Amino acid sequence: MDKILEVKNLRVSFNTYVGEIRAVRGVSFELRRGETLAFVGESGCGKTVTAKSILRLLPPVSAEIKAGSEILYKGENVLQMGQKRLQRYRGNEVSMIFQDPMTSLNPTMTCGQQIVEALMLHKKLSKQEAKAEAIKTLELVKIPDPEKRFSAYPHELSGGMRQRVMIAIALSCQPSILIADEPTTALDVTIQAQIIDLLKELKEKLGTAIILVTHDLGVVATLADRIQVMYAGQIVETGTAREIFYEPQHPYTWALLSSVPGLAERSKQELYSLKGTPPDLIMPLECCPFAARCEYCMKVCRQQMPQVTNVTATHNVACWLQHPHAPKVKPFYERGLSHAQQA
Amino acid sequence: MLRYAIKRIGYAVVTLFIVVTVTFFLMRSIPGDPLSHMARALPEQTRANYYAKYGLDKPLFTQYLMYMKNLLRGDLGESVLYPGRSVSETIAKTSPISGLVGGIALAIGFVIGITLGIIAALNKNRWPDYLVMFVAILGTTIPVFVFASLLQYFVSVKLGWLPPSGWGQPRHLVLPIIVLSFGPVASFARYLKSSMLDTLSQDYILTAQAKGLSQRDVILRHALRNSMLPIVTILAGRIVGVFTGAFVVERMFGVPGIGFYYISSINNNDYTMILGTTVFYAALFVIAQLVVDFVYMLVDPRIRIVPESR
Amino acid sequence: MQEEISKELFQIIGPEDNEAEKIARPRVSYLRDAWRRFRQNKVATLALIILGILAFMVIFGPAISGYSFEEMDTTNRNAPPSREHWFGTDKLGRDLFARVWQGGRVSMIIGLVGAFVSSFVGCIYGGISGYFGGRVDDIMMRIVEVLISVPYLIVVILLSVVLKSKSLGTLLLAMTITGWCGIARIVRGQVLQVKSQEYVLAAQALGVKPWKIILRHVIPNVLSVVIVAITFDIPGYIFGEAFLSFLGLGIQPPNTSWGALAATAQSMYAFYPYQLFIPALMIALTMLCFTLLGDGLRDALDPRQRK
């Protein structure tokens, strides 16, 4: 298989004055060439931390990637790269765009300069060549009048345009992986759709693999090949987009799906709202992290960590409901009534 | 942009006008007149001549108009203490000396202060940070004359490395410059550290890192420039600080700058000199603020477009 | 391994009651919380203790010395520190221990009174400007801009020349005449900010009377900023007085201040360095302590500003 990225047992902690926060707790996954993988989950479930770890962008003092974690880019361990190698890797082989295009661009540099900078660094182009290349990239992300926008400052552009510039910066060196951290969250709904369409088009045109981090399942639906649902720093379910949307197995995935307007309509059901908040990540977790909020929580869930079960070759889920002893339950939205309403 | 610039210059002119007017009438409101204590002993005729010479025989308002008219031509009148010595010429002769000492001190203070600020920000909560902040606190709390006396005592008297005061040789410059640059070092270091920490937590720093820039490039190309913006706003205050600090420093080290003459004219009640020098200082500072404002506009592209946001 | 788990564990029990959402921590009042944070700051606490000691000495020091600060003893001039004269004597044979604390009174009074008067004026001016906003604010702030654009020390020097008298009151007047501008700006900014907060808008929408809004929302928010500004202003006034006295424009003999003591001693520092160092140390120490105290108060009163 042409795996280009393989993450094995990634564990990340933040050292704070209240104690160690285990933000990512043993996450493993892989990414194939040209594939789009989505990380989905509530805020604070570790998806952004996982994404940033791939580029080693976590704050060096407070964040600690635990020993035993491995991030293999084409077989090379990213965590062991030297500074020089890391700089060639960042932006050139794997690049990243961030949530808020308003703050992610340097306000005192023109958009053009910010693209040229990466091109001159990685492709060793002259200023003139880099400028020509940058304008081509701006064209690629469908910015009208790219020559003029090249010398515009970020504050002169709209939010959607800025996010396009961010994408242009990220794609300028033709990386093999693009990490998009909530790329549409800060944008207007209409602009969101445009950015998603653009990402989809670019992915097909350039064959870039994408890691899409989002809490919005609607964004994922049109773009992702595979989906990874994260909760409390762990992957609770992973599968192809089809499997996650049509045969979800984990109660947390059910909850997520039924809280998306467009998807919930399918079952003519009220929008579901998941009660409570994710567990405090300071605590060590010895049981299923979702147990406290789960409608289907069983006694065993409060005592032991569930095992990962293969539903199909591509579909894994970590839930005690997969156990042969467990009662067979259906997602509440298929029953038409939530467990809580029955009780 | 242009409208903003014109407005800003307009305010500066009005400010200056108000300052000159207020200073003029304040000086004239002093009981007695500028010549009274020195002209008392003169014969009646000489005295009248003197009064006529300085225009003091005319009504106050006429004197004011005359002063303003002369001011526009750059003529600040003549010293009442040393007849024949023109105030404008004295300023023209002494201010370059102050400018030289103050300018070098400010430049050194700027470079060292910024460097220390960067070091402190990059080593937050480690010993270089604590050391820099300790120096910065000392720099803002030890008065110039205390620092100057300490330097004179230890460097000149005890160690005998440098002359305690005097003028004419390059080595006479060393101590005054060190003393005057201490304050700027401290405040630039303090401000740059906090603004650098602020900048380093911005998202675009992450973007720059994700691009593959080295730590050095991230700091020099992205963080430093944006951290310098707030520094520009305190620059005017520092220029003022260096010039007022010079009142004391020039006296203590015997530097024949404008501060030295300003203080001695105050001690000698040389009214035209006090008035002229005050006007000069006020103009200097108003212009300094104006220039700093324009520099700020040039370095921050956001302000070029929306001046009202300030 | 999976087989070992007994069947009865697989019984659906549903989600936990959301006990976690109860507020577990006891409520602590703002001031008590601030005091707790302040005490955790060792540097600021130490600064406060040193200031306490200085204040004590400034009040009781002259009495402890057993000499009057004006009393001359021509037989014992420029004496080094000894058992009779702890800090030695000056060129007129006056006891320096008494003079240092007497001078401290003047310096401290100028620092405290200056800072309080100017922040009082500044608060009212800034409060009016910020509260009314619009045209009033525009004009009032223009005036402040003009005042601020003239260097502070020039104004003070000019006024002390014009007013001729060099008493404590004149000095205070000269120093506070434009000194309030800084606080006026801060207060105005703060008032404008509070005014635009959603909770104030909500209170207005509910029909709460203006004076109640000022009392409940504006003053508490402005107060912490003003306290911090006062603390930072005090060393500024002490420095200003020392500076003027050093130039011979401040306190006149026989009365004295730390700045005046340092100025007198400066001409002879090569021979009698301790005459210079003691008052210089007092000035530096007081300014340092007030600055550190200000830092500590700012962190304690406004944790958001903490870096």
Q: What is the pLDDT of residues B107-135, one digit of tens each?
A: 999 999 999 998 888 887 788 888 888 88
CB-based contact, B125 to chain C, within 8 Å: no
**Domain B94-269 is classified in which CATH homologous superfamily?**
MetI-like (1.10.3720.10)
Q: If pLDDT is split at 50, 70 and 90, which confidence band does B34 have?
A: low
Mean pLDDT of C168-188: 84
Q: Do A292 and C20 touch (CB under 8 A)?
A: yes
Quick one: which H or E segment has residue A214? strand A209-214
Both tokens assigned to B296: 């700020």
Worst-scoring range by mean pLDDT, A34-38, B183-187, C133-137? C133-137
Q: Please, which residues bridge with residue A64 across strands?
A: A13
Q: If pLDDT is split at 50, 70 and 90, which confidence band does A92 have?
A: confident
**Domain C32-69+86-305 is classified in which CATH homologous superfamily?**
MetI-like (1.10.3720.10)
Are the CB atoms for B55 and C189 separated by under 8 Å? no
Please calculate the CA angle C46-C307-B203 and round it to the nearest 5 degrees: 170
C75 Cβ contact partners less than 8 Å away, ≥ 6 residues apart: C93
Burial tier of C282 (Cβ tally within 10 Å: 0-12, 13-18, 19+): buried
Amino acid at the residue C56: F
Are the CB atoms for A167 and A137 separated by under 8 Å? no
Q: Residue A26: its pLDDT value, please?
A: 86
Mean pLDDT, chain B, rounded, equals: 80
Q: Is A73 helix (H, G, I), strand (E, B) or coil?
A: strand
Q: Is A171 helix (H, G, I), strand (E, B) or coil?
A: helix
Q: If pLDDT is split at 50, 70 and 90, which confidence band does C177 have?
A: confident
- Residues of B numbered 146-165 whose beta carbons fall under 8 angstroms of chain C's beta carbons: which are they? 146, 149-150, 152-153, 157, 164
| ipTM of the complex as predicted | 0.82
Å between A189 CA and nearest CA of chain B: 22
Contact residues, chain C to chain B, C-beta under 8 Å: 142, 145-146, 149-154, 157-159, 161-162, 164, 235, 239, 242-243, 246-249, 259, 262-263, 266, 269-270, 273, 276, 280, 283-284, 287-288, 291-292, 307
The Cα–Cα gap between B260 and B94 comes to 9
Look at residue B83 and tell me whether its pLDDT is greater than 50.
yes
Q: Residue A343: its pLDDT value, please?
A: 35
Q: What is the CA radius of gyration of chain A?
A: 21
Q: What is the pLDDT of residues B211-228, one digit of tens each?
A: 888 888 888 888 888 888
Which of A295, A303, A304 minimises the CB distance to C15? Answer: A295
Please calculate the CA angle A22-A24-A30 and round it to the nearest 5 degrees: 165
Å between B206 CA and nearest CA of chain A: 7
More confident residue, B301 or C242: C242
Domain boundaries, chain A: 3-224, 250-341
Are the CB atoms for C293 and C54 separated by under 8 Å? no
Are the CB atoms for A290 and A251 separated by under 8 Å? yes
CB-based contact, C15 to chain A, within 8 Å: yes
Contacts of C12 in chain A (CB under 8 A): 296-298, 327, 329, 339
More confident residue, B20 or A268: B20
CB-based contact, B15 to chain C, within 8 Å: yes
DSSP code string of B91-140: HHHHHHHHHHHHHHHHHHHHHHHHHHHHHHHHTTTSHHHHHHHHHHHHHH
Which of C151, C246, C292 minimises the CB distance to B240? Answer: C151
Q: Do A106 and B300 touch (CB under 8 A)?
A: no
Please name the fold of domain A3-224: Rossmann fold (3.40.50)
Q: Is A31 helix (H, G, I), strand (E, B) or coil?
A: strand
Worst-scoring range by mean pLDDT, B185-194, C17-26, C204-213, C224-233? C17-26
Neighbours of chain B (3+ CB pairs under 8 A): A, C
Mean pLDDT, chain A, rounded, equals: 83
Quick one: which H or E segment has residue A204? helix A189-206
Q: What is the CA radius of gyration of chain B?
A: 24
Look at residue B276 and tell me whether its pLDDT is greater than 80.
yes
Predicted TM-score (pTM) of the model is 0.78
Q: Do A89 and B212 touch (CB under 8 A)?
A: yes
Neighbours of chain A (3+ CB pairs under 8 A): B, C
Q: Please, which residues bridge with residue A239 across strands?
A: A227
The Cα–Cα gap between C244 and C240 comes to 6
Which of A298, A304, A340 minimises the CB distance to C12? Answer: A298
Helices (H), C196-257: 198-205, 210-213, 219-246
Q: Do C270 and B153 touch (CB under 8 A)?
A: yes
Amino acid at the residue A284: P
Helix B87-122 and helix B271-299: axis angle, to 10°? 40
Both tokens assigned to A291: 């147990």
Both tokens assigned to A201: 């088009």
Q: Residue A60: its pLDDT value, please?
A: 78
Å between A287 CA and nearest CA of chain C: 13
Nearest chain C alpha carbon to A274: C15
Are the CB atoms for A254 and A337 separated by under 8 Å? no
Are the CB atoms for A130 and A91 separated by under 8 Å? no
Contacts of C9 in chain A (CB under 8 A): 298-300, 303, 325
| Closest to A338 (Cα-Cα) out of A251, A266, A260 | A251
